[in-house]
Amino acid sequence: MSSISSTRTVTKAAPRAIRSRAKAQEGISSIVAKKMLLFLSVFVFVYFGASMGFQVMKESARTARIHAGDRALSARRATVGLENRVNYLSRPDRIEEWALSHGYIRQSVVPIPPMEGSLVALKD
């Protein structure tokens, strides 16, 4: 009977060892699967976050470019307006009008008073 019991012990020990190895392999594979799932979820989160951040920066640059164009156009219009006003005010008739309105008199029109004590001979 001893030979039968020894055979039974060997046959009973083999399935336990196989089961424990299978459990260990299942544990390792589940750990690997969990790590891969964690890595993929972090990767997807970072990818979509970076993609959204890139889109926000791109939209911000686009609106800044539009506003810069608007400012440049308005500055050009203001410059043209100022140039027209300067050209209008620098015309000789406008300068003379301004001078007369502020009490200035043209030198060519001002009579020169005679000097006192000078004698002028008149011919008859």
**Average pLDDT rounded to a whole number, residues 33-46:** 96
**Average pLDDT rounded to a whole number, residues 22-33:** 77
Tell if the pTM clears 0.75, that is, is over it: no
84-100 pLDDT, tens digit per residue, is 999 998 998 898 888 88
Residue 55 in any domain: the answer is yes
Residue 119 in any domain: the answer is no
Q: Is the pLDDT of residue 3 over 80?
A: no
Residue 110 in any domain: the answer is no
**Average pLDDT rounded to a whole number, residues 5-34:** 66
> 96, 106 in Cβ contact below 8 A?
yes
Residue 87 in any domain: the answer is yes
Per-residue HEC secondary structure of the chain comes to CHHHHHHHHHHHHHHHHHHHHHHHHHHHHHHHHHHHHHHHHHHHHHHHHHHHHHHHHHHHHHHHHHHHHHHHHHHHHHHHHHHHHHHHHCCHHHHHHHHHHCCCCCCCCCCCCCCCCCCCCCCC
Least confident of 4-8, 71-75, 118-122: 4-8
Q: What is the total count of domains within the chain? A: 1
| Residue-level pLDDT at 49 | 96
Which residue range(s) make up the domain with 18?
A: 2-101
102-116 pLDDT, tens digit per residue, is 888 776 665 666 666
